[in-house]
Structure 1
Amino acid sequence: MKNSEKLLALISSRGWKVATLAEKADIKYTTLKSLIDRDLRNITVAQALSISQALDVKVSDFIQEAAPMTDENSYLNPSNGFKIKEAKSVYETTPSNKRSLSILNYYGQISAGELTSINSIEKEDVIELPKSMLGKYADRPGAFMMRVNGDSMDKIIPNNSYVVCIPVEEHELHDNDIVIYSYNNESSMKRFSVRGDYVVFSPESNNPKYFDFAISKDTESEVEILAKVILYAVTLG
């Protein structure tokens, strides 16, 4: 069964139309229709995840399993999105230790705006991404993905984008890293820097309501850096 046929079957099983899924996944109808017409070729990470969330299924339920990255046959290429393998899945013949995939926990939304309770963040799914996308962090323990909720970083990372993050030690933090931090048991995503005696978390937003949050190094223990962002995916159009 083709990828588009799998997706259409999932849509039909819920009594939906393509337009219904487009609305629930926050994807333009014409964009989704074009993706289906092309058997989901060149679908982006963000689009695939939005569709899987809307349908409450895994990406692999409507897209063939990922093959190891090559020039001719890649599951996900940062420059052009998914390329679906049309031949028989190599998972049937490739030993597991040669699969070039990283497995990440997928959590709920992270606030890129007002602080949000860290207790509300729970694991929702498991995501597979090619190790080539994560570079030197491909085998980093604890890497995870979240969906951005808010516009405090929208000059760089728009609302509803997806971010891949890794837990970090203090010595791994650098000025201008984008981090997820917790303050008084609430969390947010901002750009990190050290300015004199202060640790500063700065927005990069088109919305003027956001401002720097600075905390003295003397009370720095009240802030916990949970992770830093190493990759993000944005839906275009």
Structure 2
Amino acid sequence: MGKLEDALKALIKSEYGGVPKFAEQAGLPPTTVYNALDRGMANTRTETTDKIYRTLNVDLETASLTDFRKLRIKGGSQSDFVDVPLYGSIAAGTPIEMVAVDDYHPIPSPMHDRYPDAFLLRVSGESMNRVLPNGCYALVDPCEEVVKDNDPYAVCVNGYDATIKRVKKLANGFQLVSDSTDPTYAVQTFNYNEPGTETLTVIGKVVWYVLPFDWSF
């Protein structure tokens, strides 16, 4: 992404709080705005880019200059947030770049600096509601092994969609433990000494979570 796109993102953050509200004002889907900014706008003119410039009150001539200070950015050109991919599901064995992105959502820049490869995974269900509310977005730092027992990890069972549980390593397997106010969620044990045991694949460690913009209690 170039200086122009960084400046436009900072302007969007400054005046609208983020892409979702700006996209609503511009009459565009949020993913369309994200894609335009990711592809680059300096040498491109489309109906989408025109709407972005027009909504921001940035004229096309100014937007083509290298003196990006002429864009009316409040608070400088650096954003306090970084937009990262949001996934609804991830299957084991599928490269992350091949997974369809549901949307993008901002996380604090320091969190992105700490976990530059992390992505968001939509949480569905109450099995981890003591630490991850149903409907929140869990930030997952990709890894292939359980580094610390009983920490929350995103894992896949037999290659299917990822689930989040606290994971404990066994001598030859794993245990998945829920962290829920509902005591009916049972511990799942994967003992590879037993024939037919399903395969568990670690997708990444859950390091943080964020609530969606439309969150309500």
TM bracket, shorter-chain basis: 0.5 to 0.7
**CA contact under 8 A between 1:109 and 1:148: conserved in structure 2?**
no
Unaligned runs of 5+ in 2: 1-11, 38-51, 57-71
What do the CA deviations read for 1:126-153 (whole angstroms, capped 9, x no partner)?
Answer: 344333134632x3xx311122111111
The change in CA–CA distance for 1:10 and 1:179 in structure 2 (over 3 A counts) is: same
What do the CA deviations read for 1:60-88 (whole angstroms, capped 9, x no partner)?
Answer: 98xx9xxxxxxxxxxxxxxxxxxxxx962
Aligned residue number for residue 180 of structure 1: 154
Matched, 1:208 2:183: yes
What do the CA deviations read for 1:156-202 (whole angstroms, capped 9, x no partner)?
Answer: 111001111011132x6210121111111223111111244441011
The change in CA–CA distance for 1:124 and 1:9 in structure 2 (over 3 A counts) is: closer
- Post-superposition offset of 1:90: 2.1
- Post-superposition offset of 1:101: 5.3
Q: Structure 2: how far apart are the matches of 1:202 and 1:176?
A: 8
Matches within 5 A, 1:27-176: 88=74, 90-91=76-77, 102-108=82-88, 122-134=100-112, 136-137=114-115, 139=116, 142-170=117-145, 173-176=147-150
Higher-Rg structure is: 2
Matched, 1:228 2:208: no
State TM-score, norm by structure 1: 0.51
The change in CA–CA distance for 1:57 and 1:160 in structure 2 (over 3 A counts) is: farther
Report the residue type matching 2:153 in the other structure.
V
- Post-superposition offset of 1:3: 3.5
Unaligned runs of 5+ in 1: 15-51, 65-85, 111-116
The change in CA–CA distance for 1:150 and 1:195 in structure 2 (over 3 A counts) is: same
Q: Structure 2: how far apart are the matches of 1:9 and 1:101?
A: 17
The change in CA–CA distance for 1:200 and 1:10 in structure 2 (over 3 A counts) is: same
Equivalent residue of 1:149, what SS? coil
Aligned residues: CA RMSD:
4.1
Aligned residue number for residue 78 of structure 1: none
Q: Structure 2: how far apart are the matches of 1:176 and 1:102?
A: 29
**CA contact under 8 A between 1:194 and 1:200: conserved in structure 2?**
yes
Q: Structure 2: how far apart are the matches of 1:158 and 1:130?
A: 19
- Post-superposition offset of 1:214: 0.8
What do the CA deviations read for 1:216-237 (whole angstroms, capped 9, x no partner)?
Answer: 2447882110111011124574
Equivalent residue of 1:169, what SS? coil
Equivalent residue of 1:90, what SS? coil
